[in-house]
Every structure is written in structure tokens, then in C-alpha cells.
Structure 1
Amino acid sequence: MKLEQLINKLLFTHIIGDVDVEVAGIHNDSRAIKDNDMFVCTKGAKENGHDYIPQAIANGAKIIVIQDKQEQYVEGITYILVPDTGKAASIMVDEFYGSPTHQLKLIGVTGTNGKTTTTNLIEHILTYHQHKTGVIGTIEIRYPGYQEEAKLTTPLCYELQRYFYNMKQADVDYAVMEVSSHSLDLGRVHGCRFKTAVFTNLTQDHLDYHVTMEAYGEAKGLLFAQLGNDYEQASYAVLNSDDPWSERYARKTSAQIITYGLGEDALVRATNINITAAGTSFTLTTPLGELELSTKLIGKFNVYNLLAAISAVIPEGLSLDQIKEAIEGVEGVPGRFEAVQQGQPFAVVVDYAHTPDSLENVLRTAQQLEPRKLICVVGCGGDRDRTKRPLMANIAIEMADHVYFTSDNPRTEDPIAILADMTNHLTAEHYTTNVDRKLAIEDAINEAQAGDIIVIAGKGHENYQIIGTVKSHFDDKEIARDQLIARGYTQS
């Protein structure tokens, strides 16, 4: 593609060199550069892409996108100076792949908790009714004929638009994606056209990056600010009416608004909620009518996830009976209140809960099942928001009968220091600390008796642990299952 076409939608560019050149590919990693590629110099927390310009040119780059003026410019290389290389890259990559989201029905889900479950529910409902659907999220990227483990909740624009392009080539109708606050703040989805944007909730997380809840909430709101409502395609904002941030987001968009929640003011709402160990049932009320709904998903937080998913698919022309039929066949989402069953007389549940709010939701759901004793295994990630550590510890201590505080992904932090952040202020005594997560899980299972519930929180679907900079295989479910077998429970 000609460079002149790629930069056509960019404002305030200063070009040094020739624009009548072919662009073979676009990358922000100098190691991936090949002949006639464009290299985008992005600035990160630890790396500055401008430092890698010589390497990119040596590897064959002919176009360099910069936001810092250079002291010297290499002859024969075209430089494009822009105010923000991240946003410029999103626009150019979208153009490079032929604006694939203009040919897909794109549904984005943002919020602190519930993104993965809501995204999977939307995909399940659409797929159940024969719509070819792709998913981009925390667990994986998948569409018919393709599956790949995810590296980021929302990929960089270079990979993201390629996934959308490949989905379109595979005749996918819908793309459903998790949209993180980081991706919104950094402009990764700047070139995407969303048909529907869904907001789950906003609670404390990622303050290591955003610093304040205000900045975090405003970043989430960018999704709704870019959600248009034009003549080509009607757009919809699906908002949780029980979360006060929804009022702000409603003011940011011109899209049609669908509210959901438990209150009477919600367009899509749940009443008469009943939660058991077998699942959850409730009365669903919508502008299309009312019906009784049963699901194998457990917990009030999953009622919200279901309401969000239902609200997102209503504009797609599905009847309530069709939605009900699809939902009642949902088995669950990996690592989200997922049971590990070996025939033991107590419950073992693995969940991705890694924020104060999500941990409280999961433990409250476990309490509602009326266990003899509630045991919790939990840790906090390193190199992440330190302020949530004592909050999560308080919740675990208040809600569980015995807590095993342990490591999550300590990364480059001292795991003992992370545990100290969690426990130094505690006066209660019904907890144990062990930096070895495997031993903590094994001890919890050895302690459990008939009627107990063990909640292993924090990692969920993850099959790795990061200690230092080393990523090693580690799976909470595998460790729990192995220890259950060691106790003599062998019936799967």
C-alpha cells in the first residue's frame, strides 16, 4: 500500500522525505522489521521506540513514524512526525488492513470485573444461533478455524487489526472483544468502529498505571466517547444502571442506551434471584417481555454478567426465547468460579478474582452456599497496584474462616514484601502465610472437611506463574486436582 494512502486520515503530520513509497508492513518492534516496512516509535513506561530507529533502518525500514524531532535524518528514509504515535499507528494499521471493523459487527466490553464472562456469554448466544463469531480477550483469541492464547487483554493495534482482517477473511459476522483501560488510554482501539459497547462495573484496579480512580474511570469512558451513531450502522451503549459511572458514560455518547441492573429503572433487569450450588435462577424483565431464566452459572455477579450479555444481543434481533435457550446451555467460563471435582465431599473453586470487588463477590457467593467452613487461598500480583493489597486481605479475613495468603505472580517484587503489604496491619489470627502457592493450595485442601468450600483466588484460567522475569508452568486447577488425588479422591 502506498504511504500517501496510509497517512491520508492523519491530521497535523510533518513529512520529511518521499510519500510515494510502498509500505509492506507496520510494526513498533524493530526486531520484526523487514524490507520496506514502517517502524512506529512508541513510548512506553520502560522503553522509548525512538532509541531503536537505527536498528529498524538496519533491518529494512523505509518509513519511520516519530513524535520527537530528531537531530539527524537518514537520507532515503521517510520520517512522519505526529503528535501521538500510538493513535496514529491505530489509524494507519486500520487503513492498512482495509478497515475490517467496518465490515464486522464489533461488540466491545469494558469494566473492572466481568469482561471475560460477559464476552464469552455474548459469543455463546450468537454462536448458538448460527452467527460466526470471533472473540478477543484475556484468555484467548479465537474464531472458526483459529485459536491462540492471549498475551494481553486487548492486543496492540498491529495484531488487533490483523485479527479483525483474518476474521473477515474467515467470513466471521461478529467480533466480541474485551477492551481494557490501558488499550483505551494508549489509543490501541482508536481505529476500531464499534457497533455496541458494554460497561460492566468500575472498582479499584490498575492504579499503578492510572494513579487515581478518576483517571481510571475516564479511560473506560473513552470507549463510549468514540461510539458513534451514524446512518450506516446504529450504535448501542449497554450500561450497568447500578454503577454510578454509567451516568457519566451516558453523557459521553450519542448512541442508543440500553441499561441493565437489579433496580426498577433498568430496561433489562433481574428479580427473584435464587442462588444454589447447582446454579442461579431469576426473573428476566425486558422491553421485549418477561420470562424465567435458569443457568449453571453461580452468583449474583454472574446475574450482572448475564444481564450485560442479554442487553448486548437484544439489538441483534434475537427473541427472548432464543436468548433463554442459548443461556441455559452455558457450562461456564474457564477460571471463573470453576469447580475442581474429584468426588471429594467438599467444594474446591478456582476463580480469577484479583481485585477487592471481585474477591468480595466470589467469597459472598461461596457464603451463600452455606459451607461448614469457608477457606480462601489468595495473593496479590507484583509490580501492580499496591494499594489494593491490604483491601483484599481485609476482605478475605472478614469473609473467610481461614485464609492462606500466598504469592500470585510476584514478578520482580519480593514475594515476602508483597505478603507484608497484605498482612502487616491485620490483628486477626485465622490466617497462614506461605510464599509458595503450591504448598498453600495443598495445605488448604488438606485442611478441608465435608461441607467446606475452598476458594482459590487470583489466577483463574492462568497456567503460569511469573517469578522475577521467568514465566513457568503453574495451574491452580492442576495443583488442586493432584492434591485431591493424593488425599484419595479419584472420581472425576
Structure 2
Amino acid sequence: MKLQQILEQVKTQFKVIANNHLLTQTDVKNLAIDSRLIKDGDVFFALKGIKNDGVQYAFSSAKLGANTIIINSQSLLEINHFQQQFPKVIVITSDNNFALLIEFLKIFYQPLPKNIYGITGTNGKTSCVEYIRQILNILNIKSASIGTLGINCDQMVKDQLASSSLTTPDIVALYRNLYTLKKSAIDDVAIEVSSIGLDQKRVAGLKINCAGFTNFSQDHLDYHLNMENYLQCKLKLFSEIVDNSGVAVVNADIDEFNKIKSICDNRKIKIIDYGYKAKLLKLIDINLQDVKFEFNNETFQFKMAINGDFQAYNLLCALGCIIANHNLKANELKKLLENFYHIQVAPGRMQKIVKLANNAEIFIDFAHSPDALKNVLLQAKKIQQKKNNDNFRQSRIIVLFGCGGDRDRKKRPIMGEIACQLADLVIITDDNPRTETPKDIRQEILVGCNQNKVIEIADRFMAINQAVKMLGANDILILAGKGHEKYQIIGDKKIVFDEEQIVKNALK
């Protein structure tokens, strides 16, 4: 597509300050906001951020092959010097080059998938988007999920996609990947939408026709500073992003439900609620892996191959999203639910990695917030109760965890307190300390701990090996905090750290 063709369609004001005569000749190969990813023929948007101004990368972007640089009108670029070095690079200014970027994205990366599901909430986002994808596969509908685990879809398609380490990818990578998925005939894509992603406008301009809200509890206060700011960022998915003709799928059992409902009612957005207090997907009972609910005055049930009441909620959220976009008759819904037992847990989400000959079990889970840790341990207690009913020897719950460095410090003693309340033995170790002193992080967790229940082992590798050695018959070991991650971040280095493999090696 020619640059001139795009500029003729945009409404945001702009001014070409260098090489206006080249507009009709210039082909746009791709768009970029990360100068390190620039390739020949790309248009680089030098966005002005909180800490940095992208204009400082104008020269390096041009060296890498960008044929157009779009800067903010208030940014300072030595235009004469720039033109001397890059006489054929077009330079455009705009008072709002981010708004201009959104228009470019919507024009250049078209068409996009018809059904885009955006899932937010403190916990459960990863599971929900993965369950949506798996349910659609059961229905023989091509689909993909995007989030913390990367992009999950057919491998042949995945090889064409841009990778990201963020829960919600940067906006250009997201649009580009959605465009690629659409070219591969994928019209249903479920996306994790984080509060930080919403605050940083990484889903701006997208037509999300189904928005889900799982739950809300303390996390990310290092970024948002307080719970109200955190919630307001989450609510943007419903007040600003979801399409006017879209559907909101909301957990009716959370305190924030009425606030979300009010926003949706004001925008005339249809709500599918789920949970015990719901009117549409009304939970009746969760008995370990058996779930019963009511929908359209008819009772349905399914069996999970997954552990956790919270996973039943995640499955209902996913089901609500499917119902929102795909009209399922009662007999079709019953047939679908018969296959729910084949739905697999998302990697690192209460994932059982081994069951020993003595009936001890080891799980890994990504739980890194107080509420997530509480939910995992409550589920462990249900498993423990069943073990104690079935066996003579009483089982123990052992939980091993730490907290990430350079992240919300307020949650550390809270997580220590929760762990000691619900587990029989707590092992405090390192998570991803990043640039913080690991010992200081552990001490902040230990403030909330019952010292009669806790052991501190700094090195996570040694802690896991020790925990495995301590397992008795029927015991339950939860390795919490890292889940699917195959690395540990210490300082500014990311080292290989695969907990599942470490456990397997410890058992040899």
C-alpha cells in the first residue's frame, strides 16, 4: 500500500516536513513503534512516552531502513541534520501521532478477525482465553488465543506471527498478528487484556465485540498505586473499548459487578452474567470436578478434568463468551458440555506435574497475587479433604513461593499470612528478584508468616529439591508464582529455570 493512499483516508491532522514529493512513490511494508524491530520499508511512529520520546530513535530507525518517520509536533528533531543524513526519508509531524497511528493500523492491517474476545480481571485471564480457544476447537471453529502464554493456534500459523513477552502485546504487534490470523481464516481470537495494557492503550481502536471480567483483587499496585486506579483501568474495557453492539460477560459474584453493569447499561451493552448470583449462567453447585448450572430455565452440567472452583468460574466465563458470539441451541450446548472433560488446564495453572507412588501430588501454579494464592490453596484443601477421607494417613499441604522484585511490595506480607493460614508448611524462597535484594523481599513476606509453619530457603532450586524430599504419603506440594515460566530473572539476567524439569530430576 502506498503511503499517500493511507494519508488520504486519515482524519487526524498532520504535516509533511520532509520529502512531500515522495508520498505517492513510497510503499508501506509495515508499521513500527519499536525502533529495534525496524526493517526496510517500515513506517516508524516516534511516540512520546512518559519517560522517553521516540524521536531520539529517529536516526537509528532510518539507518535500519524506515522510509517514513512520524513524530509528535512538540518533539525536537534536528531536521536539517536528519535530511542531510537521510535525504529520501519522509518526515511527518502531528499534534497527536498516537491517534494517527491508530488510524494507520485500522487502514493498513485490514481485515481483522470478526469475533475478538477481550478478557480482563486480576486472575483467570490466561485460563479464560485458552478455554475459549479450546471450546471453539470442540465446535470445529478455527481460533487462537493471545496473552501471557504467547499466541496459541495452529503451528503453521504461529510461525508467521510476531512474539511478545507482554500479557497484552504492544499495539502494532497485536494488530499485525490479528491481521495474519485473519489471513489464515481465523475469525475468533481471545485476547488477555491487562490493566496496564488498557492504561497504555495497547488495544485502542480494536473492535472487541465480547468483553469478559473474571474477578478483582490486589495486584500491580507498584504501577497503579491504589486499588481505585487499578479498577478504573480495568473498567476502560467496558466504558471505552468493547463495541457498542458488543456483549459483556461478567462474574456476578464479585463486588464490582454492579459498577460494571451500570457502565454497560449506560452504553446499552448486553450482559451475560455468570456465578451463583447470576441470572443467565447461574451456578447451582461445584462439587470438586462436577459443575451444575442453569441457563434459559434449563439445568445443565459438566465434568472438569481440571482442579479448582475458580476454574469452574473460568470455564463459565469462556462459555458465556462463546454463547455471546455463537448461537447454541440447547441440544448443541448439551453436546458441547459432554466434551468439557477434554478441556486441558492452561500450562502452569494448577497444573499437576506428577503423582508419586505414595499418592503425593505436585502442582505448579502462576499464583502471584494474594487472591490467586488463596484460591489455589483453598482448592488444595479440598483435595486434601478427599485424600483424608479416602486414606488412613493424614496429608499435608506444602506451599513454596516467593514474590517478584520491582513489583507491588504491599502484597508480600499478605501472601505470607494467607499461605500460613491455609497450608501446613510454607517454604519462602526467591521468585524473580530482578533488581531488588532477594533477602529483603523474603523478609517482607516473612513479616506476615506464622514462624512455626515457615522455612526460608533462599535458592529456589535448592528449595524445590528440599520440598520434594519432604513429601510424605498423600501430601500435596504447590510450587506457586512461576507457573508456565521457564526462566528466573535475577538482576538484569534471565536464566533458564524450568520447575517441571527440576521436579522430575529431583525424583530420579
Q: TM-score, normalised by structure 2?
A: 0.88
Distance apart, 1:335 and its partner CA: 0.8
Letter in 2 for 1:51: Q
Match of 1:365 in 2: 379
Give RMSD over aligned pairs: 2.2
Distance apart, 1:88 and its partner CA: 4.0
The answer to whether the 8 A contact 1:270-1:303 is kept is no
* Aligned equivalent of 2:281, options 258, 268, 271: 268
Structure-1 separation of matches of 2:243 and 2:59: 44
1:106 pairs with 2:112: no
1:89 pairs with 2:101: yes
Distance apart, 1:306 and its partner CA: 1.3
1:308 pairs with 2:317: yes
Q: Tell which deviates more after alignment, 250-259 or 191-200.
A: 250-259
Matched pairs, number: 475
* Aligned equivalent of 2:345, options 332, 347, 352: 332
Letter in 1 for 2:357: Q
Q: Tell which deviates more after alignment, 238-247 or 60-69.
A: 60-69
The answer to whether the 8 A contact 1:238-1:258 is kept is yes
Match of 2:75 in 1: 69
The answer to whether the 8 A contact 2:111-2:182 is kept is no
Letter in 1 for 2:362: V
Please give the secondary structure, in 2, of the residue aligned with 1:195: strand
Match of 2:480 in 1: 457
Structure-1 separation of matches of 2:489 and 2:458: 13
Cα 1:481–1:35 change in 2 (3 A) is closer
- Superposed CA deviations along residues 197-253 of structure 1, whole A, max 9, x for unmatched, are 1111111111111112111111111211234556xxx41111111122232223334
Structure-1 separation of matches of 2:93 and 2:271: 38
* Aligned equivalent of 1:60, options 62, 65, 75: 65
Structure-2 separation of matches of 1:9 and 1:322: 47
Alignment of structure 1 residues 317-396 onto 2, 5 Å: 317-318=327-328, 319-345=332-358, 346-369=360-383, 370=385, 372-396=395-419
The answer to whether the 8 A contact 1:289-1:320 is kept is no
Letter in 1 for 2:125: K
Cα 1:47–1:429 change in 2 (3 A) is farther
Structure-2 separation of matches of 1:261 and 1:90: 36
Structure-2 separation of matches of 1:417 and 1:428: 17
The answer to whether the 8 A contact 1:238-1:257 is kept is yes
Structure-2 separation of matches of 1:206 and 1:5: 42
Structure-1 separation of matches of 2:179 and 2:467: 46
- Superposed CA deviations along residues 357-380 of structure 1, whole A, max 9, x for unmatched, are 000000011011226211100111
Distance apart, 1:59 and its partner CA: 2.8
Match of 1:488 in 2: none
- Which runs of structure 1 show a deviation greater than 6 angstroms over 4 or more consecutive aligned residues? none
1:434 pairs with 2:457: yes
1:152 pairs with 2:160: no
Please give the secondary structure, in 1, of the residue aligned with 2:182: helix
Please give the secondary structure, in 2, of the residue aligned with 1:120: helix
The answer to whether the 8 A contact 1:14-1:80 is kept is yes
1:480 pairs with 2:503: yes
The answer to whether the 8 A contact 2:417-2:450 is kept is no
Please give the secondary structure, in 1, of the residue aligned with 2:230: helix
Q: Tell which deviates more after alignment, 450-459 or 415-424.
A: 415-424
Structure-2 separation of matches of 1:96 and 1:389: 45
Letter in 2 for 1:303: A
Q: Tell which deviates more after alignment, 326-335 or 54-63.
A: 54-63
Identity of aligned residues (%): 34
Cα 1:221–1:6 change in 2 (3 A) is farther
The answer to whether the 8 A contact 1:195-1:227 is kept is no
The answer to whether the 8 A contact 2:212-2:249 is kept is yes
- Superposed CA deviations along residues 304-339 of structure 1, whole A, max 9, x for unmatched, are 101101111113122321330231221322111111
Q: Tell which deviates more after alignment, 351-360 or 265-274.
A: 265-274
Match of 2:392 in 1: none
- Superposed CA deviations along residues 29-85 of structure 1, whole A, max 9, x for unmatched, are 223323442211234566432221221233333322223332532445544444554
The answer to whether the 8 A contact 2:207-2:243 is kept is no
Please give the secondary structure, in 1, of the residue aligned with 2:258: helix
Please give the secondary structure, in 1, of the residue aligned with 2:338: helix
| Structure 1, unaligned runs of 5 or more | 486-492
Match of 1:490 in 2: none
| Structure 2, unaligned runs of 5 or more | 388-394
Distance apart, 1:269 and its partner CA: 1.9
1:448 pairs with 2:471: yes
Structure-2 separation of matches of 1:475 and 1:58: 39
Match of 1:16 in 2: 17
Structure-1 separation of matches of 2:57 and 2:248: 40
Structure-1 separation of matches of 2:241 and 2:201: 14
* Aligned equivalent of 2:436, options 404, 413, 431: 413
Distance apart, 1:392 and its partner CA: 1.0
* Aligned equivalent of 1:180, options 180, 185, 194: 194
Alignment of structure 1 residues 180-199 onto 2, 5 Å: 180-199=194-213
Structure-2 separation of matches of 1:26 and 1:107: 24
The answer to whether the 8 A contact 1:297-1:331 is kept is yes
Cα 1:228–1:138 change in 2 (3 A) is closer
- Superposed CA deviations along residues 413-454 of structure 1, whole A, max 9, x for unmatched, are 211121122114545331111221111111111111112111
Letter in 2 for 1:52: Y
Cα 1:108–1:425 change in 2 (3 A) is closer
Please give the secondary structure, in 1, of the residue aligned with 2:290: strand
Match of 1:422 in 2: 445
Structure-2 separation of matches of 1:401 and 1:299: 19
